[in-house]
Amino acid sequence: MKRAASVITPFIMAAAIIAPRVEAVEIDAAVLAAEAERVAVMAEARTKTVAIFPPEGNGGGSGVLITPDGYALSNFHVVKGAEKHMKCGLSDGKSYDAVVVGIDPVGDVALIKLFGRDDFPSAEMGDSDEVRVGDWVFASGNPFLLAHDFKPTVTYGIVSGIHRYQYPAGTLLEYADCIQTDASINPGNSGGPLFNAQGKLIGINGRGSFEKRGRVNVGVGYAISINQIKHFLGCLRSGRIVDHATLGARVASDQDGRVIVADVLDDSDAYRRGLRIGDEIVAFGGRQVRTANAFKNVLGIFPQGYRVPVSYRTKGVTHHTYVRLPGVHDLEELLQKTQGKMEPEKGLPPGPPKPREEPGAPGDKKPEPEKPKFKLPFGSGHADAEKAEIPKLVKDAFAERRGYANYHFNGVERNRVCLALAARSQLQGNGAPWTIEADQLAGTSTGPTSAATLTIDDAQVEYRLPTGAAVLPLGGSFVGAAEPQGSGGMLAALSLWRRLVTVGPDKFGDLQYEGTFTLPERPEQFDVLIGRYGGVTCRFFIHPQQGDLASLEVAVDDAVDPCELFFSDYHENGGRWLPRKIEVRHGDAIYVVLLPKSWQFVPKEKP
């Protein structure tokens, strides 16, 4: 042994002599600082990433928190297996109960609500329209449901494509305006966040291109753009099953590359705005469109009911207008397709293997081993997971109603908006008649002016001018009540305005929260209440911060344009905030502009 040691030692010494000396490499301070910043951004982003495990073991996936009170985004196909209740884990190792709020099954987006705290770490939303090919991005999530400790996996890459359109999968799912990335997105990443280099949320990961023989990412993944989700977010908070929009027209590219209207429904708002077969679509939804595919890409980012700017060219003349977008599906069709069976995402880990059989004589019958129950983590995506009891706070936050994923949250949002409106108007419970003295500008924003008196009570609405009066008796149906002629239903609209602010949401009639929508020439989002009273549909657009009523539209005839009232120039009057300007529109024309000078909310004394 001693001799062997004496032989080996010279070789070790020789190797040490001839081995090259490793010189210390000085790394540029800027590189180290960039690395430290990247690590810090990713560490912060991981705290906002959610690992989602449906308790009954039907799949699973990822999500991202967007508000401190626990609202989080995910994919519809992730939460579909959860039905109502799910368990969610964060990177701090703690788990939280959660409930479905609203779903967009066409766009594959879901909003959920986590319970247990009011200071959840939440992601800041970026602007996905500013994303460019080559931008550094990273995905965070729970690929293959490996995050049993809830610590998400982070993958890094670049944006390899923008504004990608994915044709509908099956009969429902459609990905429009996607962000394409080579950051690895695998089964289980679904519903998780895609961040830009600054840690801002720019998309929700939803699809990947996979090798055919296995669910392994090949470097092409797709994220739903956050700007599309912003359009839908208010609708998702309403608890609804939200549909996507259509134009009411079909387009095609001609031989010159123009986007031409190939067909248009004559009962659509697009037709009423003047769109005809053969017209060229120049711009839509704020974007130039040069191909039919590009048009579909933009159309796919809007929910049903949105009103978007459209530019079209007829015989060389360009027209600019706003079009109300109908839904792609009717409610019955949407419900049928949404409530159908959806299998868990392919490529996720299978259930645990069955216990091995002990060797024995052929034909020996052994007792069936008890099927194991797995509790880590709350089901782990396995079919054999122990079924979890739904906590009371989750049960209390769920209500069923046809057309809704969770009607409970519609009540939450409706009450929030109505309380803000009541606080500004200070008229709830005051059933006294209204008398408004006003100057009016007939059909224009410049003179001449004339005097007008509006009287609104429970029995009738009267609009009195020096030349005569228009009167609408109340108590019956508003269908066809288009008085005064040419207004499209101004008196009906004024009555519904008074009804909402005096009797409140519970006594108004059928009233729900619809979501957030924009108004023509006003890019900000308004809370919208949709009601049904007197046989007609009405919408109230309410400022989300001030609580002022910005607009009211009433459709007394579904085949024609609604009457629209736009309220502005609010001022304080005896503790109430009241408008100094009411513009009445029907279609593309201004019917009248009312300039209230005085308001009375007390019964007139009898002579």
CA distance linking residue 298 with residue 284, whole number of Å: 7
b or e along 392-425 (b: 16 or more beta carbons within 10 Å of the residue's beta carbon)? Answer: eebeebbeeeeebbbbbbbebbbeebbebbbebb
Half-sphere exposure of 480 (CA within 13 A, CB side): 2
Residue 439 and residue 593 in contact, taking contact as beta carbons nearer than 8 Å: no
**CB distance 142 to 153 below 8 Å:** yes
Angle, vertex CA 167, rays to CA 164 and CA 171, nearest 5: 150
- Rounded CA gap, 460 and 360, in Å? 91
Catalytic residues: 77, 108, 190
Q: How far apart are CA 112 and CA 63, in angstroms?
A: 9
Question: What is the identity of the amino acid at 91?
Answer: S
Phi, psi for 493 (deg, rounded to 5): -65, -45
Q: 422 Cβ partners below 8 Å, 6+ apart?
A: 428, 501, 504
- Write the DSSP assignment of 478-499 as a string of letters: -TT--TTTTSSSHHHHHHHHHH
- Amino acid code (one letter) for 15: A
Q: How far apart are CA 185 and CA 563, in angstroms?
A: 48
Q: β-strands 249-253, 49-53: how paired?
A: unpaired
The torsion defined by the Cα of 438, 442, 444 and 448, in degrees rounded to 10, comes to -80
What is the C-alpha separation between 326 and 303, in angstroms, rounded? 9
357: how many CB neighbours lie within 10 A of its CB?
Answer: 8
* Residue 235 token pair: 């609708």
SS3 (DSSP) at 425: helix
Name the maximum alpha-carbon separation found in the chain. Answer: 132
Q: In sequence order, what are the residues at sequence separation of 6 or more whose Cβ sits closer than 8 angstroms to the Cβ of residue 185?
A: 139, 141, 143, 155, 205, 207, 208, 217, 221, 222, 223
Q: What's the gap between Cα 580 and its chain centre?
A: 33
Sign of the CA dihedral running 92, 113, 167, 294: negative
**Interatomic CA distance for residues 302 and 234, integer angstroms:** 12
- Cα gap 227→362, rounded to integer Å: 65
Which of the 8 DSSP states describes residue 82?
G
Query: What are the backbone angles phi and psi of residue 194, rounded to the nearest 5°?
Result: -110, 120
- Per-residue DSSP letters for 44-77? HHHTTEEEEE-TT-S--EEEEE-STTSEEEE-HH
